[in-house]
Each structure stands twice: as C-alpha cells, then as structure tokens.
Amino acid sequence: MHSLWRTLDRGTLRDIALVCLADAMVGAAFGAISVSGGLPPWVPVVMSLVVFAGGAQFAAVGVVLSGGAPIAAVAAGLVLNARLLPFGFAIGDVLGGRWWTRLTGAHLMTDEAVAFVLRDGDPHRRHAAFWACGLGLFVSWNAAVVLGALAGRGIGDTGALGLDAAFPAVLLALVLPSLAEGNVRNPALLGAVVAVAATPFLPAGLPVLLALTGLVLAIRAPAPLPDREVR
C-alpha cells in the first residue's frame, strides 16, 4: 500500500483528495435525505456498502420515497449503472489478474476512478490512481453516509432546508456534461418529455423506465462522418 501512494505525484493525490471531499458531501446529503424521508438508517448505510454507486443510489431511493415499487427502483439503478460495463473493458488492465482483485476492483469502479486512469498512459500510475481513488472514495463516501444518516434522524422537514431538491439536482449534474453532444441530448430530451407526460397516469418509478423510449433516437441516429481535409 505504501508503494501505491509513492507512485502518484502530489498533484494527483491532491485531485483525488478533492474528489473524495466533494463526494463525501454528496454522501452525507444522501444519508440525511434517505432517513429524513422515512427510511431506516441502516438502509442507506447498507446500500452504500453493497451498491456503492452514488447516482444509482439516488435514483433508487428517489423512486422509493416517491412511492414507487422496489422493482422500479432496482431497474432505475441498473439503467444508470449500465455505463460501467464499457468502463470495465476500458480499464481492465488495472484490475489485476486474480479473481478477487478483479471482483474488488469492479465494486470500487466509479466515474472518478475511471477518469484518473484514462488520463495517464503509464501502467504503474494507472494502477495506483485507480486503487487510490477507488479505496479513498469508498471510505469517504460510506463514512459520510453514516454521518448523514445519523443527522437525518433530527431533520423533520427536508423541504425547509432544500434537501428535497438534492435527488433531482445530483442526477441533473451527472448527465449535464453528456448533453453537449446532439446524439445524447436528443434521446435524453425525448425521454424526459415521455416521462413527464406519463407521470400523472402511471405509478411512481414507471415513468422513468418509460423514458427509455428515447433511446430510439440514439439507435436511429446516423454515425457522424469523419472530418476530411480540405484541399
């Protein structure tokens, strides 16, 4: 473990620490909102340990707190976590060859850890960055969720503090960077329109799944033509 930290430069360690701090703040909000919304404190704690996927956790708990069925909550989380599958192919070399390291690495895989791996070409630094970020986030996120869950027991009205807006705000922050591309923005807008239109008529959680119809535009969208040099 000592050699792991020595492999990384101070700049990378600083960036990882800042990411852990930012995620800890979100984790505390997740724990507080889950408990103040009516869930037992152990639910967000166990979910964070077992699932360890902030966006999926927010989506699943958001569906449950709005009255949706558990199956809809699970489906919403799975849809969000589907993006991790191509990530696994992209950074498979940093997970090691043993089955238990690959299994542990798969559980610790997050958008942030993948970003640190992809920005460096050196195999040793890629490996060190992934495990440093993954382990750091796992510890900081889960510790913050516990503190947030304990604090949530004393919060009576999440709306008074504005915490009721944290679920949609976090999910919006997750998708905003991707909306710059038209082939992502158009299916997302179609899915949003479908979900909003279906909300008055369907049980909570189902409009989110129905929004997947927006993927029709992604399937039908033509691949962009490669840039050609003008002569």
215: which 2 tokens? 């993927």
147: which 2 tokens? 């503190």
- Give me the sign of the Cα torsion angle 28, 168, 57, 82: negative
Q: How do residues 7-64 score in pLDDT, each as one tens digit?
A: 777 888 888 898 888 888 888 888 988 888 888 999 999 999 998 988 788 888 888 8
Query: Residue 219: pLDDT above 80?
Result: no
Per-residue pLDDT, 63: 81
93: which 2 tokens? 């070399």
> Can you give the residue ranges of every domain in the chain?
2-176, 181-221
Q: Of 2-11, 108-117, 196-205, which gets the smallest average pLDDT?
A: 2-11
Contact 11, 128 (CB under 8 A): no
Alpha carbon distance 31, 50 (integer Å): 14
The model's pTM is: 0.69
Mean pLDDT of 201-210: 67
Contact 152, 31 (CB under 8 A): yes
- Give me the sign of the Cα torsion angle 196, 197, 201, 207: negative
